[in-house]
Amino acid sequence: MKRGDRAFLGVAAFLAAGALAYCSVMWFGIAVPRYYPSAGMWKWTMDPGVPSQGWFAAQAFALAVGALAGGVVAWASGRGDGGALGAGRVRAVSVATVLVLAGCLGYLMWHEFVKWGVF
Amino acid sequence: MKPVFLESFYPVLLLAHLGVTFFLVGAMVHNFWCVIRYVNGRFDRCDSEKRYAKWLFLAYLAAYGIGALVYPAYKVYIGYPGFRIETPWAKGLFEVKEHWAVIGLLMAGGYYYLRRNFEPEKERAKLALYVPLCFLLNATVWYVVIAGCRLTMLKGSWS
């Protein structure tokens, strides 16, 4: 497969896997290190009543999972027969990727707006 | 209490965050209008569009990085004591802003890398990802910018 097609598949995998990994921290309650800015330290636990930030580790997790998935897909797609990626497959991958991204964005908005009484 | 990371630089960093965001919006809107031309079958501004995609990504990285530096002091002095209890709807706006900013970072990186590796006029099938990604990225950044401005108008500093 040519370089551009491998990059296309890699980007699609990076986007979908990264967005799903970020949401999965909420869905599955994955424990990530939290930064306690008033104490200037990191902990794995969440202390109630003290401001802490899991956002830094959650984004690192999402970027790492996305990069890993994108890299693996781009590498694996380069091991085939060298044929071009067909237009039908390009469209199918595009639609799936956009649906995952839109779904994750929608879920994150819905989750926080319901939680904090915006809706 | 120990001083929070970079709290004495908070006003400067917040202004820098805003300034870089102006640059980001400029690059993004210019890129958007070029991508709209692709939808209409016009490929006369490919070079400019590629350049705007690059600046969009670099500006996003800068705005995101500065925002991450501002965040600890913001959390301790504004987000946690104020928004969480007094105006929970503002806390909701902020949380979505932070989540969407992460997804936006993924999209900005993927968008630029994809653009570096395809020619819109020759590989039109790939516009099926590139064009919706452009729209999603615009929607995400506009939400982040508008929510950020609204929250700063509500409470931008603690002194």
pLDDT in tens for each of the 159 residues of chain B? Answer: 778 899 999 999 999 999 999 999 999 999 999 999 999 999 999 999 999 999 999 999 999 999 999 999 999 988 877 777 678 899 999 999 999 999 999 999 999 999 999 999 999 999 999 999 999 999 999 999 999 999 999 988 777
d(CA B98, CA B22): 18
To the nearest whole Å, the CA of A98 is away from the closest chain B CA by 7
Cβ within 8 Å of B, A 56-95: 56, 58-59, 62-63, 66, 87, 90-91, 93-95
ipTM score for this prediction = 0.95
Q: What local confidence, expressed as pLDDT, does residue A83 receive?
A: 73
d(CA B130, CA B49): 12
For residue A103, give both structure tokens. 């779904």
Q: Is B91 on the interface with A (CB under 8 A)?
A: yes
CA distances from B148 to A71, B67, B74, B93, B135 (A): 33, 10, 12, 9, 20
* Counted domains in chain A: 1
**Any long-range contacts for A68-73 (C-beta under 8 Å, 24+ apart)?**
A68/A17, A69/A13, A69/A14, A69/A16, A69/A17, A69/A18, A70/A10, A70/A11, A70/A13, A70/A14, A70/A17, A71/A10, A72/A13, A73/A9, A73/A10, A73/A12, A73/A13
User: Token match 């990076």: residue?
Assistant: A14
Name the residue range of residue A76's domain.
3-115
CB contact under 8 A, A116 and B89: yes
Q: Determine the number of helices (DSSP H) and then strands (DSSP E) in chain B.
A: 4, 0
| Crossing angle between the packed helical segments B88-116 and A87-115, to the nearest 10 degrees | 160
Burial class of residue B87 in the structure, from the number of CB atoms within 10 Å of its CB (0-12 exposed, 13-18 middle, 19+ buried) = middle
CB contact under 8 A, A87 and B102: no
Output the tens digit of pLDDT for each of chain A's 119 residues: 889 999 999 999 999 999 999 999 999 999 999 999 999 999 999 998 899 999 999 999 999 999 999 999 999 998 876 677 899 999 999 999 999 999 999 999 999 999 998 87
Tell me how far the alpha carbon of residue B15 is from its chain's centroid. Answer: 15
**B24: number of Cβ within 10 Å:** 24
Q: Determine the number of helices (DSSP H) and then strands (DSSP E) in chain A.
A: 3, 2
Sign of CA dihedral A12, A13, A17, A18: negative
CB contact under 8 A, B71 and A55: yes
**A68: number of Cβ within 10 Å:** 15
B89 neighbors A116 (Cβ within 8 angstroms)? yes
pTM: 0.95
> Domain ranges in chain B?
7-154
User: Is residue A53 classed as helix, strand or coil in its secondary structure?
Assistant: strand
Query: pLDDT tens, B110-133?
Result: 999 999 999 999 999 999 999 999
To the nearest whole Å, the CA of B26 is away from the closest chain A CA by 23
d(CA B62, CA B64): 5
